[in-house]
Amino acid sequence: MHAEPDYHELGLRVGIEVHQQLNTQHKLFCRCPVTLREKEDSCMKFSRFLRATKSELGEEDAAAREEMARSRKFTYRFYDSTCLVEADEEPPGELNREALMIALEIALLLNMNVVQEVHTMRKIVVDGSNTTGFQRTALIAMDGYVDVEGERIGIDTLCLEEEAAQKIGEMEGGIEYSLDRLGIPLVEIGTTPEIKTPQQAKAVAETIGMILRSTEKIKRGLGTIRQDVNVSIRDGARVEIKGVQELELLDKIVKNEVIRQINLLKIRDRLRERKAEVVKEIFDVTEIFHKTESKILRKNLKKGGIFAILLKGFSGIVGEEIVPGRRLGTEFADIARMFGLGGIFHTDELPGYGISSDEIEKLREQVGAEKNDCVVMAGGETSRVISALKRIIDRAEYALMGVPEETRRALDDGTTAYLRPLPGAARMYPETDVPPVRITEEMIENIKLPELIEDRIERFMKTYGLNRDLATLIGRSGKHALFEELVKDGHQPSLVIRTLEMLPSEIEREGYRTSNLRDDHFRMIFKLLKDGKIAKEGIEEILKKFCENPELSLEEIEQELGGAGLDELERFIRDLVNQKSALIEERGKGAFSPLMGLVMKEFRGKIDGKTISEILMTEIEKFLEKK
């Protein structure tokens, strides 16, 4: 494991972009619901190729240019819950007001300045995740801040955007997307790049997440919040890492990126010492492999040919580890995969893959490789191989300069893979189909700001005497208001938390459908408890009954409990008193304890012990008076 680098010394700068889906009724520019679907439910599919769009200034974006070179076919799944807006067959409707109001609320919580007029823009999106070839985005607010562990971190911008379509499959030369997610409202919150350590990056993301959850107007669950991280060190480059879903990985990803940039700079220095050079020629080496034993190459040959490039002075460096499990060769392979190829071969890892030493000898000879040189080779459909190798030549040349500015994607192990060049500033232009919206003072004044979750946790500790764990459990829960309602009704705070939070997760593990439980179920349970009709030991059983049948009424629940109502109790006690009259005559009120034991044996968990003892005592007294 690498030791912790000195981030201050390295001049580390990190900025975070948080993307959070909003829980609105409708999508951002149409009336479709924001529900996600199973792909099997899709009623239709259609395909498109990406159209090249230039910005208003006529500039072409580097990321867009690369995507076009990749010439992939995009297939989209359409549902009965999507419409012609998602398919780009109909212009968008007006900006969703509900989403706008939530975005404004979040802006105020982040101490930001709200714009006077919201203008929807088009941001070029090149990966097919949008049927239009662009994503609609609107700047809502600027220049805010959050306080995190005693330091103030700037919030640059808050934008309201449409969520992209979800990728559901990838095959050679194409990608399949699902349109259900396209158009769900999303806020994008960007911090200034003044975060100085990986740990601080994680803490800032956690705080922003807490503020977003405090609104209770956001979508929850996997994939509903994603972080992008911008990382740079002195002499390195700005690298944007997309799609961090696990907050737990954020610090590891930043640290790995720092190590990657440090090692790329070391590689640059060594290549310069060796006077390394990238030959800008693509060699057709198909002939050499006509009779190859390599299964992969034989497969490649069927599709087209085998081509190679020469990296002078790169020997040993292409195969060297940069971060755990990743090498310069892995970066080349990422690029090849982007062009729909299976990967690459390089001489640092050969012989291997069934390629013989004799073939390698011939390969080196044909491209004119010397001892210190590395040969990189790829096979498949000729035009794809040529495009990919051109990009690999660019990437290899960049190794001589240092760290390329680029967009990468987060991997599950905390490393990252090449995704595309960093998009330029040339990618935004106005969306003329959506009218601008004025933000009035009245709109701002009508926003009622929620209590922040972290403030609520402190308040619960102080007001209800909870420890931090319990206060956090209920303070973060969607049932915090119900908790306060029940506690104000006289119930014990720890019992309420146990009933609202812990018992449901326990019985869920036993297979009960706790998603059926509603606030009213809990209110009924606490009413039964208050009326002495159940004991707290009986709560679990009733929760299970509500899971099985959420429509049960209070009366039905009482019957379900085996008729263990007060009537039955009184009858049981009167019979018992008659049966044991001898005992009572002998001991008087002293007969209470043995009789109580007998009643509890029958009614434990069904009726509260205090109620039982009161009734029993009354009946004993009545019996004694009658005598």
85 or 564: CB nearest Zn ion:
85
Q: CA–CA separation, 219 vs 166, rounded Å? A: 16
CB of 393 to Zn ion, least distance (A): 43
Helices 62-70 and 382-399 sit at what angle, rounded to 10 degrees?
150
70 or 181: CB nearest Zn ion:
181
Contact in structure between 395 and 338 (CB atoms under 8 Å) = no
83 or 591: CB nearest Zn ion:
83
CB of 115 to Zn ion, least distance (A): 26
32 or 507: CB nearest Zn ion:
32
Q: CA–CA separation, 606 vs 599, rounded Å? A: 11
CB of 89 to Zn ion, least distance (A): 11
DSSP secondary structure string for all residues of 39-86: GGG--EEEEEEPPP---TT----HHHHHHHHH--EEEEEE-TT--TTT
84 or 247: CB nearest Zn ion:
84
Residues 6+ positions from 570 with CB-CB distance below 8 Å: 615, 619
Residues in contact with Zn ion by the rule CB under 5 A: 30, 32, 83, 85-86
CB of 81 to Zn ion, least distance (A): 8
Q: CA–CA separation, 34 vs 28, rounded Å? A: 9
CB of 84 to Zn ion, least distance (A): 7
CA 137 to chain centre: 20
Q: CA–CA separation, 439 vs 104, rounded Å? A: 9
CB of 29 to Zn ion, least distance (A): 8
Residues 6+ positions from 259 with CB-CB distance below 8 Å: 2, 5, 322, 323
83 or 264: CB nearest Zn ion:
83
CB of 511 to Zn ion, least distance (A): 37
83 or 474: CB nearest Zn ion:
83
89 or 248: CB nearest Zn ion:
89
CB of 80 to Zn ion, least distance (A): 11
**In terms of C-beta density within 10 A (0-12 exposed, 13-18 middle, 19 or more buried), how is residue 610 classed?**
exposed
CB of 97 to Zn ion, least distance (A): 16
182 or 419: CB nearest Zn ion:
182
Q: CA–CA separation, 464 vs 496, rounded Å? A: 12
**Residue 414: C-alpha distances to residues 244, 253, 457 (Å):** 9, 5, 31
Paired tokens of 460:
């619960």
CB of 126 to Zn ion, least distance (A): 23
CB of 180 to Zn ion, least distance (A): 10
Which amino acid, one-letter code, is at 232?
A: S
Bridge partners (DSSP) listed for residue 343: none
Contact in structure between 255 and 280 (CB atoms under 8 Å) = no
Paired tokens of 556:
């039905």
Nearest to 339 by CA among 272, 274, 385: 385
181 or 521: CB nearest Zn ion:
181
Nearest to 320 by CA among 349, 295, 340: 349
85 or 140: CB nearest Zn ion:
85
**Residue 300: C-alpha distances to residues 138, 329, 341, 381, 547 (Å):** 46, 19, 9, 8, 57
DSSP secondary structure string for all residues of 120-169: EEEEE--SSSSTTSEEEEEEEEEEEEEEETTEEEEEEEEEEEEPPPEEEE
Q: What angle do CA 155, 160, 163 make, to 5 degrees?
A: 120
22 or 110: CB nearest Zn ion:
22
82 or 407: CB nearest Zn ion:
82
Dihedral sign, Cα of residue 530, residue 533, residue 539, residue 542: negative
Question: Is it true that the peptide bond before 351 is cis, omega within 30 degrees of 0?
Answer: yes
Which amino acid, one-letter code, is at 450?
A: P
Paired tokens of 306:
């085998």
85 or 95: CB nearest Zn ion:
85
CB of 563 to Zn ion, least distance (A): 53
CB of 181 to Zn ion, least distance (A): 12
Q: CA–CA separation, 132 vs 119, rounded Å? A: 18
120 or 200: CB nearest Zn ion:
120
Contact in structure between 120 and 178 (CB atoms under 8 Å) = no
Report helix, strand or coil for 195: strand
CB of 102 to Zn ion, least distance (A): 19
